[in-house]
Amino acid sequence: MRVLGVDPGLTRCGVGVVEGVAGRPLTMLGVGVVRTPADAETGQRLVAIERGIEEWLDQHRPELVAVERVFSQHNVRTVMGTAQASAVAMLCASRRGIPVALHTPSEVKAAVTGSGRADKAQVGAMVTRLLRLDAPPKPADAADALALAICHIWRAPAQNRLQQAVAAHRALKGRTA
């Protein structure tokens, strides 16, 4: 499975592509950041993020895009920018028919480090180790994007089994009604 992880942000939108399956060594195919100038108009920044994500989709052809689920923060302005960048990533993938999965920051941290409260340094260190890299990707947004992709690859088999079980239960329930 090839997954493009997106750590959404209006100034720095982390992107990273990981390939592999749960239980096997994973491979990083690319990592980077789509940057926009803080003093640019919001609409122009979103267009720049769209172009950047489209380039990543063209270059790496992922089977799925994993995006960090926006969660409530104290700074409403930061949440708005994150949500807008997240929506752009979801739109780009959906326009191409690529499935999108959302993961909370604590889900990603728990999947990669074993603790949902891990800090950025711990996430970066584990991403480096899991992907057998020489150094943690910089900035942290890039490492977080890789962590999102890893999280999805590892969680997808369990999520698929759960969805199949729910569908089977509903089908069985429908026959007995």
Its pTM stands at 0.89
Q: What CATH code is carried by the domain that includes residue 136?
A: 3.30.420.10
Catalytic residue flag (residue 68): yes
Exactly one of 39, 119, 141, 144 is catalytic; name it. 141
Split into its structural domains, the chain has a count of 1
Q: Is 63 a catalytic residue?
A: no
Q: Mind listing the pLDDT tens digit for each residue in 6-59?
A: 999 999 999 999 999 998 999 999 999 999 999 999 999 999 999 999 999 999
Annotated binding site: 7, 68, 141
Domain that holds residue 46: 2-176
DSSP-assigned letters across all residues of 32-78: EEEE--TTS-HHHHHHHHHHHHHHHHHHH--SEEEEEPP---S-HHH
41 is catalytic: no
Rounded Cα gap, residues 121 and 79, in angstroms: 22
99: left (phi over 0), alpha (psi -120 to 50) or beta: beta
- The active-site residue out of 39, 68, 119, 144 is 68
